[in-house]
Structure formats: C-alpha cells, structure tokens
Structure 1
Amino acid sequence: MHREEDVEFLVGGVTLRGRLFLPADAATPPPVVILQGGLGGPAESNWPMAPAFTAAGLACLSYDHRSTGYSDGEPRQEFDPWQQCRDLRDVITHLTLRDDLDADRLGLWGVSIGGANSMFTAAMDRRVSAVVSIIPPVSGWSARQLQPEATLAELEALIPVDRQNRLRGEPAATIRLHGAPEPGRPVMFSDQEGLEFVENAIHGLPSFRNEITISTLDRIFEMEVTAYAERITQPLLMVLASQDTVAPVEEAREMFSRMPEPKELIEYPGQHYEILSKHFPEIIERTAGWLAATLDA
C-alpha cells in the first residue's frame, strides 16, 4: 500500500508537474527516488511501477520535463537533456524542503535517456546518494548512427532552417518520434521492437505526443555523458542489453569500466527495447531492491 499526491515545482519560471508516491506505513521519512523514462516517455508511464519502490520502503517521484506532458514550457515537445538535468537538480532542492522525505538518502533511476540524465546529474550533484542507469545512451555522437546516412543528412539540413524560422517567430518544427519510415516524413525511432514496446506501454497515455522538435536532435547530438565517468563516485547499478545498438552497449561498457567503485553491472540478452519487453517487471523489482538496500530503506 502507498499514498500518492500530485506535485508541482516552479523551476526557472516554468512549472513542472508530476506525482509523488510514499510508503503508507513509514514510521520515519523514507528515502526518495526520482524516476525518469526514455525520450518522449511521459511521467505517467512510470507511475504504474511505483508500488515496487514503495513496497521496498522508498518514496518515488516521476514528473514531466519542461515542454512535455503535463508540465509547462515552450516549445512543446522539445527535449533538451542538459536542461532536463539542470531542472532535475532544482527538483532535488524542492525535495530537500519536504519534512516527509529523507532527501539525504536520494536516488536517481532512469531508462535510456533518463539513465544518461541520472548519471550526469550524479556526476555534478553530491546530494545524489545512488544511481540506477538502464540501457543509457552515453554519447550523443552515436545517436547520429540511428539514422541511415541519407536520412541523417535530411534531418541535419532541417536544423539550421528551423533555427532561422524560430528566429522569425515561427513555431518550432517537429518530426515523428516513433513510426515506420516514409519518403519525406523523417522519424526518430523506427525499429519494430521499439514500435511494439512504445505502442503497448506509452502511446495510449493522455500526456503522450508522438513528436519531437527538430531542435531536439541538436540537443541530443551534443550530449556526451561518457566524459563524466570518473566524476560519478556514488554507488551505481548499470543495466545493459547485450546487443544494444540504439544505445550502443560497447560505449556504455567502456564508460562503466572508467567509473569508480562501488559499481555493479547487469546485462540481459537482446536489443534495447527487447529487454524492456521481456524483462521490465524483473528489472524494476531488481533495481528497486538494490536502491532500497543501498539507501538503507
């Protein structure tokens, strides 16, 4: 059993909205874990997993990043990992002001780009006590390899045009986030396993929109979390897919090799979305248990 409340955080003039879940029978303020999903995944896609964390004695929070989901911010559907990490640090500050949470025992948990965000934030913020990073894309340069050469050239040609148009006051241009490739209609993710996973887990949610701004591509391509490996000194659990090409597993392994102890690496066989389709409930239970033990819940 748990109790939950809708929460708002004023961050840099923008209101972020989410939901906080707390163990129902906690005698003292519990540790708290902030959950982040993958690119385009709204906060409410994380809410069903909350019972696994509260049953382990942890409070957990999932909120929508600025310009997405139920949070404010313009342009809509702009995903900027660096800005998301700055906002995350402000959200941590908000949590430290609550008497019903023990923010001195705070963990970060993230999937895909959320896992990358969690590691970067831990590298920069000593208030983070533990990190779980699941199938993280650690290099923005590699994100370019998701597209065939011709499609990548088409997308990159749109970026400076969009910059000019936005300077003129025109709306931000967008592309589809998931879908089948079509001539003249670029899409970010088109692999079949990924499409099946997001259609089952995300596409039906009220706060989901199947698009990202063109400028999101710029923001993702510039993110290089691997450069911060040596700065992540908190206990870390990394969960990888052994054949991942969406978030290249070789790069994540290399980053892990440079991170200080204590750290633990778990690999599941398969591709990026494949391990989520086949093993996600187990991964959630396993990582929630690890965080509970590490944060002494």
Structure 2
Amino acid sequence: MTTFQQREKVRFASGGTSCAAWHYPGTNGGCVIMAGGTSVTKEPASDRFAPLFQEAGYAVLAFDHRGFGESGGTPRQVVRVDEQVADWHAALACAAGLPGVDPDRIALWGFSLAGGHVFRVAAEDPRVACVIAQTPLVDGRAIAPHALRCMTPTAALRLFGRGIADALGALVGRPPLLVPTAGPRGTVASLTTPDAMDGTRALDPEGRHTGWEQTVAARIVLQLGGYRPGRQAPHIRCPLLVVVCDQDQSALPDPAVRAARQARNAEIVHLPGGHYAPFLESHEPAAKAELAFLRTHLSTRP
C-alpha cells in the first residue's frame, strides 16, 4: 500500500474553471507536474510515483484535467485535448508559485494520453526544465488502425455510432453519451486492446479510488485518430525521457520511439510489458530510470 508524506489539496484556475490538485512539498526546489490519460484522475495516475519523487526531494503537483475528478467544468468526462493542454500550462503557472519551488526547475510527467500532451506543452512553454513521457500516445493516426483491429466489427460500428450521436447531441446541449474507457474485445468501449483492461489492476489494485469514474464521452473515438502531439518533438528544447513498453498494445511503442528520435535531447528507455507495466511488473526499473533522469536534469538547471 502506498504511503504518503505531507500533501495538501490546492486549486488553480484554467479556462474559467478550477482544477483540483495534490501538492506534495519538496525540499530541493524542483517540482514535477503529473497527470494521467483519458479518464484517469490524479490519485490513480500519480500515487505510485509521486511519493517516490517527493522522497527524492522534489515537490509534486498532481492534477485533474477540467471535467474530470475533482476539477470543475462541464460537461463531465469529455476529453477536449486543447483544453487539457491549456490545463497543463495553468498547472505550470501554479507550480511556479508554490512555496519552495524554483520556477526554472519544473518538470512534466504524463502517461498515455497525457504523455502526448506533455510533448505539446514542452514545445510551447520555455519554462519546462525537462519532461517524462511514460507509454505516451503520440500519434493517433498510427495507433487507430491497431485499436480498430482489436474490436469486433459489430462493436466498432456501435462505438462509432455512439460517437457520432454524442457529437451531434453536444451541438444541441445534450449530456454526453458515455462509454467505458476500457473493455474486453466485443464490448462497446473506448479501448479494447489486450492490455487495456489492466488499468484497474495497475492503478487501483486495492479499490481505494471509489470516485474514479472509468468512463469517457463517446465522441473521443472521432477525435484521437487525428491527435498527433509527437509531431511537436523537434520543437522541444529541454531534455526528454520517453519510457516505452515493448508489448504495449494501447499506445504502441514504435510511434513514441520515432517521435523521441526527432527531439533534440531525448533518452529512450525500453521496458518489458504492456501499457501499464510501469505500474506493475516494470515499476522498479521505470521508477529507477525516471528518478535518475530527474537527478540529472532537475536537480540543477543552468
């Protein structure tokens, strides 16, 4: 069971609403901003890694994107990638003002969909000192055909039908049509890849996060195929660590490796296992690599 040192709830403004976050105070001036992908809220996203970063001396700011978890914003459970990227920029401003945080020593940590967001944020904001992208979704166009092959034809048609109905309903103010974030093959879910169902076992094995709603608005199926944040890699000037899992069936390792090779200063760490392996069987080497990266690039910054 994860144990926590001191942490406190904080809130920051983003896009006219309020985002909720956990602040773990640090001791060395560095700070790591963390968030998870799709519908993953701040606790399941960060509970395995945030205490390790804090023990190493870094402050942590782990937050919920607007419309998810304890953050404000309506409609709920709707992924809007531009708004989520704006939330990251707002989190950067919040972290820079936290007690004991050096504004020039702020890192980003994201996994899955948020692992793609951090490519964009780092390319856009020179305040970012370094970035950790863990099993990131960097190229929706590359992974969409594989995701579709992991669905039965009937389930895929039903998912796209629900996605279209959800998008049309949004135009007239109807509530979102929700689908499970992950499900077994044959069900109508956002992802039915072989490792998609590992999420609960990896992120909430003890069932403590009772408020974590593992659903997402169905319109996501119409959006993510065109989301390609990895294309921003050549514009990232700060050090970048990309952690890929060689059997990842949800985000796929090859697009992330290709994106990392386009960055100016990138390291690639290969781990065995599926999409959630850094929270499961590959947790120890993932944590070791990420802490070593932070010690190198966040302990001091010219």
**Taking structure 2 as the reference length, what is the TM-score of the superposition?**
0.88
Match of 1:243 in 2: 247
Deviation string for 1:104-152 (max 9, x for gaps)? Answer: 1010011111211111110111110101111111111234221237243
Which blocks of at least 5 consecutive residues in structure 1 are unaligned?
Answer: none
Partner of 1:3: 6
Distance 1:275 1:244 in 2: 11
Residue of structure 1 equivalent to 2:190: 188
Tell me which residue corresponds to 2:294: 291
* 2:94 pairs with 1:59: no
Counterpart contact for 2:273–2:282, Cα < 8 Å: no
Shift of the alpha carbon at 1:191?
4.0
Partners of 2:279 and 2:99 lie apart in 1 by 35
Deviations 1:161-185 (A, max 9, x none): 2232222332111111122244xx5
* SS at 1:3 equivalent: coil
Q: Which amino acid aligns with 1:44?
A: E
Return the alpha-carbon distance in structure 1 between the equivalents of residues 141 and 78 of structure 2: 19
- 3-state secondary structure, aligned to 1:71: coil
1:233 aligned to which of 234, 237, 260 = 237
Identity score, percent: 24
The 5-angstrom pairing of residues 162-241 of structure 1 reads: 162-182=166-186, 185-202=187-204, 204=207, 205-241=209-245
Q: Distance in 2 between matches of 1:94 and 1:196?
A: 32
Provide the residue aligned with 2:33 in structure 1. 34
C-alpha contact (below 8 Å) 1:16/1:71 kept by paired residues: yes
CA distance, structure 1, for counterparts of residue 231 and residue 48 of structure 2: 33
3-state secondary structure, aligned to 2:294 = helix
Aligned residue pairs: how many? 290
Quote the offset at 1:271 in angstroms: 2.7
Output one character per residue of 1:36-56: Cα deviation in whole Å (capped at 9) or x when no partner: 223221101113432211121
Q: Deviating runs (4+, > 4 A) in structure 1?
A: none
Report the Cα offset of residue 14 of structure 1.
0.9
* Mapped partners of 2:97, 2:202: distance in 1: 37
* Aligned-partner residue type, residue 31 of structure 2: V
Contact 2:247 2:273 in 1 (8 A): yes
Partner amino acid for 2:198? Answer: E
Residue 275 of structure 1: CA displacement? 4.9
**Quick one: distance in 1 between partners of 2:49 and 2:252?**
26
Change (3 A) 1:194 1:166: closer
Residue pair 1:41, 1:202 contacting (<8 A) in 2 also: no
CA distance in 2, matches of 1:81, 1:207: 23
Deviation at 1:76, TM superposition (A): 1.1
Name structure 2 gaps, 5 residues minimum. none
Aligned Cα RMSD in Å?
2.2
Q: Could you tell me how far apart the structure 2 residues matched to 1:112 and 1:71 are?
A: 20
Contact 1:47 1:62 in 2 (8 A): no
Q: Name the structure 2 match of 1:91.
A: 91
Corresponding residue for residue 267 of structure 2: 264
The alignment's TM-score, normalised by the length of structure 1, stands at 0.89
Using the alignment, how far apart are the partners of 2:49 and 2:65 within structure 1?
Answer: 18
Give yes or no for contact 2:242–2:267 (8 Å, CA) kept in 1: yes
Letter in 2 for 1:142: A
Q: What is the SS of the residue equivalent to 2:241? A: strand
Residues of 2 paired with 1:155 and 1:212: CA distance? 12
Distance 1:256 1:192 in 2: 25
